[in-house]
Structure 1
Amino acid sequence: MINVMVVEDEKMTRTVMQDLFAIHGGFDLIASAENGKEALRRAKINPPDVILMDVHMPVMNGINATRKIKSINQDIKIILLYEKPEEEIVIEALIAGVDGFLLTTADFSHVVQSIHDVLNDQVILSGEISRILARRVTELQYTKKDVLKRKLEERHISLSPRELDVAYQLLENKTNHQIAKELFLSEGTVKNYISHLYGKTAIKHRKELVQYLRYLLN
C-alpha cells in the first residue's frame, strides 16, 4: 500500500483525487491539505510515501513547502502539479528537491505511473520541462555577454561588438568614466555607444536600459 498526500487549494480537486485513489486500489490517501503550511504540519505527524503538490497556493506555495518538507524528511517523494511550465519555477523547484512534475490535466493513469516512477528514484519530467532544462544547460556553456547577445538577437536587436561591450559594462553599474577606462575609449565615445543602445532598444533613460538588460539575463 502506497501512502499518498494531496496538497491542492481547490477542494473539488482534492475530492476527485480522493475518489480516484479509493477506486484504483493499492493507494491510501492518508492526508490532504489546502496549502503548503498545512502539508508541512501533516507530513511531520504522518509522513506519506508520496506528495502530489500544487505549485501555486495561498499561505505557502508548493516550492517553499517542498523545501521545508525535504529538510525534515528526504525520503518523502514530491511531485509538483503545474498548469504551465515557467522556467524560473522549474529551476527553483528542482533546487528545492522536487522529484517530478505533472500537468494538473494529466490523466489518472499517468498520475499512478508517475508515483511508481518516483518511488523507483526516477525524476519525472515532461517534454516541455526537459526543453527548459536543456536550454538552461546550453546557456551555461556561454558567458553572460554571449547570453545577452543572444537574448537581444531573439528580439531583433543587433549590437556591434563594442556596443555589446558597453551594454555589458552598464550591467555592472559602471559610470561612463569607468567604462571608458575599462574599454580604452574616451568618455565621449562611450556616450555615443550608449546613445546607440537607446536607439536600438527604444529606451530613453539609462536606469530603464540597465533594468531591461538585467531582465533579459533573468
Structure 2
Amino acid sequence: MIRAGLRAVLAADPAIEVVAEAGDGREAVALTLEHRPDVVLMDIRMPVMDGLTATEEIKRAAPGTSVLVLTTFSEDEYVSRALGGGASGFMLKSGDPRELLAGVHTAAAGASCLSAKVAQHVIAGLNRGSARHRDVRLASQHERVTALTAREREVLALLGGGLSNAEIGRRIHVVEGTVKSYVSAIFTGLGVRNRVQAAIVAYESGLIEHKD
C-alpha cells in the first residue's frame, strides 16, 4: 500500500520515472545495481535487510545514486545512523506529497534534503547523552565553523537550507564551479562526508534558525 501510494505521487511528475519497486532491503540493493537510478526512496523498516543496512550497501556499490530515507519522528536514532551511512536526505512519511517531489528533484541534483522539522528532531537525537559530551561536541563544531572563511560560512548556511550548488551560485553571484570548491573546502574544514552532515553542523552551530 505504501509503495502504491508513493508510485501514485511520483507518477504525477512527468520528469520522474519509477524504474523499479523493492519489497525488501536486499532486493532494493539488487535493483539499484541493475537499474542505477538517480534516487532511491528507502524505508527504514524493511524485511530481510533493513533500510539502514541497504542504504550503506547502496552507497558502497553505487555511490552515484542518492538515497532519500523515509522516516518518522520516532526513529531519530535510525536517522542518525542513516546519516553516517551516506543518505542524501530524510523525508517524512506523513509529509506533503509536494515536499516528496521536491526532495526527489533536490537529491537528483546532488543537494541535501533536510527539512527544518526533521533537522530539529535529528539534532534532538544527537544531543541525547551526557551534558559534558554534548558540550564538548558543540564546542568542537563551533570552532570548526568559526575557522571557515566568511564566504564558506555563507555557503554552509545556504547548503544547510537545502539549496543546490547552482542555486547557491545564483544567490551569491558566482559560477557553480566556484561553489563546488567552497563546498569541498567546507567538507574538509568540518570533517564531514556529505551535504546532510554539513547541514546538521550548520543547524547545531546556529547558522540556521530552527523553525517549527
Distance 1:84 1:138 in 2: 15
In the superposition, the TM-score normalised over structure 2's length comes to 0.56
CA contact (8 A) 2:71 2:79 kept: no
CA contact (8 A) 1:77 1:99 kept: yes
CA contact (8 A) 1:50 1:79 kept: yes
Q: CA RMSD in A?
A: 2.8
The match for 1:103 is: 92
Aligned-partner SS, 1:52: strand
Gaps of 5+ in 1: 1-11, 148-218
| Aligned sequence identity (%) | 27
The match for 2:180 is: none
1:120 aligns to 2:109 (yes or no)? yes
The match for 1:79 is: 68
Distance 1:122 1:140 in 2: 33
The match for 2:37 is: 48
The match for 1:14 is: 3
| Shift in CA distance, 22/88, structure 1 to aligned 2, threshold 3 Å | closer
| Shift in CA distance, 124/141, structure 1 to aligned 2, threshold 3 Å | farther
Distance 1:127 1:120 in 2: 20
CA-CA distance at 1:75 after TM superposition: 0.8
1:28 aligns to 2:28 (yes or no)? no
Higher RCO (CA 8 Å, separation ≥ 6 residues): 2
Count, aligned residues: 136
Partner deviation per Cα, 1:23-56 (whole Å, 9 max, x = no partner) = 3211110000111101011111111110111111
In the superposition, the TM-score normalised over structure 1's length comes to 0.55
Distance 1:24 1:60 in 2: 30
1:66 aligns to 2:49 (yes or no)? no
Which has a greater percent of strand?
A: 1
The match for 2:140 is: none
Structure with the greater alpha carbon radius of gyration: 1
Partner deviation per Cα, 1:119-174 (whole Å, 9 max, x = no partner) = 23322223343224545369798348999xxxxxxxxxxxxxxxxxxxxxxxxxxx
The match for 1:88 is: 77
CA-CA distance at 1:66 after TM superposition: 0.3
| Shift in CA distance, 118/145, structure 1 to aligned 2, threshold 3 Å | closer
Partner deviation per Cα, 1:103-127 (whole Å, 9 max, x = no partner) = 1112221111111112233222233
Aligned-partner SS, 2:19: strand
| Shift in CA distance, 18/128, structure 1 to aligned 2, threshold 3 Å | closer
Gaps of 5+ in 2: 138-212
Aligned-partner SS, 1:53: strand
The match for 2:198 is: none
CA contact (8 A) 2:71 2:92 kept: yes
